[in-house]
Chains A and B, each alone.
Chain A
Amino acid sequence: MKTIKSVIGGAALLLAAGTAALAARTDLVVGVVLEPPHLDPTASAAAAIDEIVYANLFQGLTRIGRNGEVLPSLAESWEVSDDGKVYTFKLRTGVTFHDGSAFDAEDVKFSLDRARAEDSTNAQKQLFAAIDTVEAVDPATVKVTLKAPQGSFLYNMGWGDAVIVAPETADANKETPVGTGPFKFDGWAKGSAVRLVKNTDYWGDAVALEKAEFRVIPDAAAAIPALLSGDVQAFPQMPAGDALAQIESDPRFTVKIGATEGETLLSTNNGKEPFSDIKVRQAIAHALNREEIIAGNGSGYGTPIGSHFSPANEAYVDLTGTYSYDPEKAKALLAEAGYADGFKATLKLPPPPYARQGGEVVASQLRQVGIELEIIPVEWAQWLEQVFKNKDYDLTVISHTEPNDINIYARDDYYFDYDNPAFKEVMNTLEATADPAKRIELYKTAQKIIAEDAVNGFLFQLPKVGVWDAKLEGMWENSPIQANDLTEVRWAD
């Protein structure tokens, strides 16, 4: 057997060497865990859609870069009026959609109006809420007037939900997406893979890959052999679990632990006894040992957080010390709140390992201070229905993966049931502020308020465990937005 293997291996090596001498590879198979329900990023919250089409197939006026920065995309440049209410975008010229039709200001107007229309099914409709009118001044100029100044407007236009689509093809994008990006849609074998090919008429720098395939591999046990056999060359988010150490020690692969926008929380029902008492929430915060929770979260990676903000963001403040791990103090606070003997509550856990496994660690830590948690595993659909929609819960572990979403704490009737006028005030000021330095200060204040109020147990930033062939260059290490941008990916010669 050994000799058979080395003969086959030798032949494979020869073959590989032969092709490598000719040219670098130009095809790539990327493994993804979830299959997208369809391929229209403007009609669903499913991250699985953006993880295929964002920046590859579809583009917006702006785009989010690999470090979370706002970059020009279909808008070459823009001017903002002094009152911060009028944005004049200068569009790129010579851009065509994949079906050959030309891109111009009317497409931008159509896309933005469609997303904010009354019967729109856009999952992030609030991104467009500030828009008052959209006007196509000439084919290469679009003027967007806001109802009030909005500091995050350019960032909002970089979301996958704000990509520009053509009126003629918009309705068919779910099955046959037509965008302006450097890759074209080639085919979708349902349940199996989505294939893209290089767009030879692309307006910008051509991509190095000729073909890219996103292959759906939902099972961790299947992902490892797929990687080891070379069938799949990259997993931007590897469901590796315990097998990660095996891959890390293999020189054929690169393993990069990056950051996501996923703040993982012990979400707390602030409107319900006894959690409506701040002393109880502070006690919970003191009872949580983040290092232990991260060690038990399924991947063993993650950055501790003390508020609802990504450590990768420049406005981040480290607030993990606000209520440091101190079980004695937690017990004292519980006694002060009138729960000297602790109390019983439920902990609803959705399916991802960080929740199911991390949640068990949380439950054992809270037991140390006298809070007995009954663990109730729920499916996604149940979680959304019971916890998120009907607030029928005490505690739950969940990662909030939308980027820059601290404003959810200002929402009325959100599932945290948190209501602090001071925080809402900060968010309102932030919305109306465009000056970057002032915005950073406001973000910092906001982080401190929710940390001190101990709204939720702030656990850790969800890691992005990326694994790919060591010869592959240009993959994103972090995921500042839900995307697998392949535009700069190439095989090293």
Chain B
Amino acid sequence: MIAYLIKRIAIGLVTLAVASAVVFCVLEIVPGDPALLMLGMNAEPEALAALRDEMGLNQPVLLRYVDWVSGMMVGDFGRSYTYSSPVIDLIAERVLVSLPLALMALFLSTAIALPVGIFSAARRGKAADTMVMGAAQVGVAIPNFWFALLLIYLFAVWLRLVPAGGFPGWGAGVWPAVKALIMPAVALALPQAAILARVTRSAMLEVLGEDYIRTARAKGMPRRIVLWHHALRNALIPVLTILGLQFAFLLAGTIIIENVFYLPGLGRLVFQAITQRDLIVVEGVMMLLVATVVLVNILVDIGYAIVDPRLRTRR
């Protein structure tokens, strides 16, 4: 188990190192001068030069890369070009929105998808299964931003139960903040739940066809126990894989939902930073996301090992 873990972590670190070089190079190539973007169309050349100096853009590329990487090792992600505050503070503010949102959505989608998937698998081919999977198909097909707009018109414009968007900040109290995240979480969770339910169902069906399930049933074990104890545990591996992927997506890939609900999350930060050529912010967020994906993958790997003891000893 220890060797397994060490190997996973080593792979993760290599991924991070490679990612930092790729991210940095790609953003070096992207055209556009951040200083010009800040000072606009009336800027005088000397003002531009002064700003470029102030932003450290005149230093050689390699030196800036080394500075950046060594800074990150000690938790210093640099200073944003446009917002003149430390990148780490910007990220921290946004994570306080994106992380709870992702967790809420993940919890909702798991809470819906697992029971639905198991229920469907247990009633394979029956009317209930067809209906539930039909609904899931619709859920996969509906774009989440459109679903979000429906929610907004129903609950915010018409019933006025929740705000149409925005985020008051955790300083405004836990309930107002959570309230602002409910609709976005639902809009994010339902399409994810639909996918997860389908994966759960097919994983369960595959397992239910195995010999050991028939054996368990044959020796007189009740259907329920077989389903929940023997089958589910063995079906969890693909489900865990999808969950890991979904979490990474929910944390960073929610830019459309963040726009529809004008939430100040990580996705918006990256988008804004790219359009304003605030490269240092883009780089910082990218690295954070890579690190998150790596970490989630390690956690998922540990999860595999817990569900499937055979993986603990195998390489």
Contacts and interface: CB of A to CB of B under 8 A. Distances in A.
Nearest to B259: A219
Interface string A20-42: 00000000000000010110000
Contact of B165 (A35, A121, A226): A226
Contact of B37 (A217, A219, A226, A380): A380
Given A46-B38, A379-B275, A229 B157 contact: yes
A189 B263 CA distance: 11
Contact of A123 (B43, B93, B261, B277): B43
Interface of A: 4-5, 8, 12, 35, 37-38, 44-46, 118-126, 174-175, 189-193, 215-219, 221-222, 225-226, 228-231, 379-382, 384-386, 388-389, 400, 402, 405
A222 B259 contact: yes
Contact of B261 (A37, A125, A222, A379): A222
Q: Which of A12, A121, A400 has the most CB of B within 10 A?
A: A121
Contacts of A37: 38, 82-83, 276
A121 B41 contact: no
Nearest to A161: B42
Interface stretch (B47-55, B68-76, B229-237, B289-297): B47-55
Interface stretch (B132-140, B148-156, B197-205): B148-156
A222 B164 contact: yes
Given A125-B47, A229-B164, A384-B32, A5 B158 contact: yes
Contact of A382 (B31, B50, B94): B31
Contact of B260 (A192, A219, A382, A402): A219
A341 B85 CA distance: 56
A169 to B, nearest CB: 15
B238 interface: no
Nearest to A402: B42
Contacts of A216: 262, 264
A388 B31 contact: no
A12 B160 contact: yes
Contact of B32 (A46, A119, A379): A379
A126 B41 CA distance: 12
B268 A189 contact: no
Contacts, number: 158
A231 B163 contact: yes
Given A121-B39, A217-B262, 4 more contacts: A123-B47, A225-B157, A229-B152, A405-B42
B159 A8 contact: yes
B49 to A, nearest CB: 9
Interface string B270-281: 001001110000
- List 3 tightest A-B contacts by C-beta distance, closest first: A191-B264, A45-B40, A381-B32
Contact of A45 (B39, B160, B261): B39
A61 to B, nearest CB: 20
Q: Which of A37, A189, A191, A405 has the most CB of B within 10 A?
A: A191
A123 B159 contact: no
Nearest to A226: B164
A129 to B, nearest CB: 9
B260 A222 contact: yes
A125 B169 contact: no
A123 B42 contact: yes
Contact of B169 (A124, A192, A221): A192
A111 to B, nearest CB: 16
Given A12-B160, A193-B166, A381 B275 contact: yes
Contacts of B210: none
Nearest to B39: A123
Q: Which of A45, A126, A381 has the most CB of B within 10 A?
A: A381
B78 to A, nearest CB: 16
B165 A217 contact: yes
A222 B165 contact: yes
A47 to B, nearest CB: 9
A190 B264 contact: yes
Contacts of B164: 222, 225-226, 228-229, 231
A219 B262 contact: yes
Given A4-B159, A45-B38, A229-B156, A38 B83 contact: yes
B93 A45 contact: no
B229 to A, nearest CB: 44
B19 interface: no
Contact of A222 (B37, B158, B167, B262): B262
Contacts of B159: 4-5, 8
A379 B272 CA distance: 12
Nearest to A190: B93
B213 interface: no
Q: Which of B36, B39, B145 has the most CB of A within 10 A?
A: B39
B67 interface: no
A382 B262 CA distance: 26
B44 interface: yes
Nearest to A35: B272
B259 A192 contact: no
A376 to B, nearest CB: 13
B32 A45 contact: no
Contacts of B160: 8, 12, 229-230
B264 to A, nearest CB: 3
A217 B94 CA distance: 16
B158 A231 contact: no
B39 to A, nearest CB: 4
A381 B165 CA distance: 29
Given A175-B84, A225-B152, A231-B163, A126 B39 contact: no
A226 B268 CA distance: 18
Interface in B75-92: 82-85, 90
A37 B84 CA distance: 8
A349 to B, nearest CB: 15
B269 to A, nearest CB: 6
A380 B160 CA distance: 37
A293 to B, nearest CB: 22
Contacts of B90: 190
A223 to B, nearest CB: 9
A173 to B, nearest CB: 10
B83 A192 contact: no
Nearest to A193: B166
Given A46-B38, A174-B84, A215-B166, A189 B264 contact: yes
Nearest to A227: B164
Contacts of B167: 189, 192
Contacts of A5: 158-159
B166 A192 contact: yes
Contact of B50 (A120, A174, A228): A120
Nearest to B170: A189
A123 to B, nearest CB: 4
B39 A44 contact: yes
A402 B272 CA distance: 23
B33 interface: yes
Contacts of B165: 217, 222, 225-226, 231
A389 B93 contact: no
Contact of B54 (A121, A124, A386): A121
Q: Which of B33, B42, B54, B265 has the most CB of A within 10 A?
A: B42
Contacts of A46: 38, 40
